[in-house]
Amino acid sequence: MAAASLASGLASGYLTWLAEEGSLLRSGLAAGTSVAAAWQWGGVGGLVCLAGTLVWARCRLERRSRGRLVSCSPSPAMGPGPRARGQAVLRILERCEELRNPRYLPTLWASDTWTNCGLFIIKQLVDKSFLRSEDYTREVLTMADGGTVSIDYSPCPALAPDAPMVIFLHTITGSARETSHFMRYATRRGWRSCVFNRRGHAGIPLTSPSFNVMGEPSDTAAQVAAVVARHPEASYLAMVGISAGSGLLVTYLGKEGEHTPVQAAASLCPAYDITKAFSRLSINYPGVDAHILASMKRLFLNKNQEILKAADPAAYSACVSAATIHQFLLAHWPFAGAPSLQAYFEQNNPMEWVGSVARPTLIINSEDDMVCLAENIREDIVSALPGALLLRTQRGSHIAFNEGLLGTGNYLSRVTMDFLDAAMEVEMEGRKGE
């Protein structure tokens, strides 16, 4: 009986803590009530209390599950291009129920910031382990300065040559291995997919003393050209940026403007203005900042010490000495080919280029994201940018968004592909009407 009382009490307290966003008082009351019921009426009493807590917690999550949309309505005062993009977003919404009435209901037992993120990390570890083998086809590209990037293509032999293609831009220290669940889901939805691995990523060391934490837009342009050449029959081309990759997506699209072959895009958990996006992370969540910084130093510095030190000892030393992500970003600009820090931000800050993005773009942010903080979300920019659509959810953590009873689903993947499917339908209808 004691074990049953303890188990029901812990479970009830834990679920209440998740539903009440860390309220220790209410969690303690729920746990105490469950223990008392189990002690008084045995296992049946504990189960009844636990079942009641489950129903209550589920209802609490459902009440907080509705997302909020921000967009720019088209008007006659707009130019033809911006007005067409604004109208395209309206037509996309007509075809996409998930976006018209957005609701993210997280996995009940992993619904707060940290458990949601923790479950996502476990799933990524499984993806990178021997338990899952991904047979990617890699294409290696050498840039004009001798630097090396690569493209990992997901295997999808059953798809027709004209199947649509989606490009994924990975996280700040990621690669295709961390992005594999997005690629698998895209395949199930009938899309070919690939990941653009940036300089220093995916097991390829630097072959020139050049790297960019946010990614180099000119490298991305070369990778896009390679994808188009490899799959010339693809009926549609889309691009999805994840976390830091979302900044590269906006900068690339802004620089290319109408010239990009990419026809629709999604920016997942962006940080917006990189001049200040990471400045408070070390204050609000020092452990998160320290963990990501250590990964950055292992990826960029430890594996490339000789080539970087030989090129610029002072910049290398400044990067090694950086105590936060923000300090590392401020220190690494000489390796990004910029003549100054100001020039680096002018060329790589997404906020400098967002106004030139000429494709329908979905943006998703969570209020409880501990990396890309809610205070940095720029609704003012989205509401003035035709073609942009921002979805704000109350929960989701940082690129986690687990869903389903066992947490095997991913809301980001699902709603992103819903948006891209709808955008493709709108584009195809437009082609027929020409």
Tell me the pLDDT band of 96, cut-offs 50, 70 and 90.
very high
Note the pLDDT of residue 130: 74
Cβ–Cβ < 8 Å for 91, 426: yes
Q: Which of 35-44, 53-62, 378-387 has the lowest mean pLDDT?
A: 35-44
Q: Which amino acid appears at position 81 of this protein?
A: G
Note the pLDDT of residue 28: 58
Q: Which of 39-48, 138-147, 346-355 has the lowest mean pLDDT?
A: 39-48
Tell me the pLDDT band of 432, cut-offs 50, 70 and 90.
confident
Note the pLDDT of residue 60: 78
Tokens, residue 271 = 């940080």
Note the pLDDT of residue 380: 95
pLDDT in tens, 153-165: 999 888 999 999 9
Cβ–Cβ < 8 Å for 187, 154: yes
Note the pLDDT of residue 1: 45
Average pLDDT rounded to a whole number, residues 424-429: 92
Residue by residue, DSSP assigns 89-126 as HHHHHHH-HHHHS-B----GGG-SHHHHHHHHHHHHHH
Cβ–Cβ < 8 Å for 397, 116: yes
Taking 90 as the threshold, does the pLDDT of residue 12 lie above it? no
Tokens, residue 62 = 């459902």
Question: What's the CA gap between 434 and 431, in Å, rounded?
Answer: 5
- With pLDDT > 90 as the criterion, what percentage of the chain qualifies? 75
Taking 80 as the threshold, does the pLDDT of residue 220 lie above it? yes
How much is the mean pLDDT over the chain?
A: 90
3-state secondary structure of 233: coil
Note the pLDDT of residue 337: 94
3-state secondary structure of 11: helix
Note the pLDDT of residue 431: 75
Residue by residue, DSSP assigns 149-182 as EEEEEPP-TTS-TT--EEEEE--TT--TGGGHHH
| pTM of the predicted structure, to 2 decimals | 0.92
Taking 60 as the threshold, does the pLDDT of residue 32 lie above it? no
Domains of the chain: 2-62 (no CATH), 74-433 (3.40.50.1820)
Single out the residue of 160, 169, 185, 184 nearest to residue 236, CA to CA. 160
Tokens, residue 234 = 């693809």
Question: What's the CA gap between 243 and 23, in Å, rounded?
Answer: 29
Angle in degrees, CA 404, 409, 415, rounded to 5: 110
Note the pLDDT of residue 280: 87
Note the pLDDT of residue 48: 57
pLDDT in tens, 392-419: 999 999 999 999 999 999 999 999 999 9
Question: What's the CA gap between 44 and 423, in Å, rounded?
Answer: 52
Question: What's the CA gap between 174 and 155, in Å, rounded?
Answer: 19
Taking 60 as the threshold, does the pLDDT of residue 35 lie above it? no
pLDDT in tens, 270-329: 999 999 989 989 999 999 999 999 999 999 999 999 999 999 999 999 999 999 999 999
Q: Phi and psi dihedrals of 233, rounded to 5? A: -90, -5
Average pLDDT rounded to a whole number, residues 91-107: 94
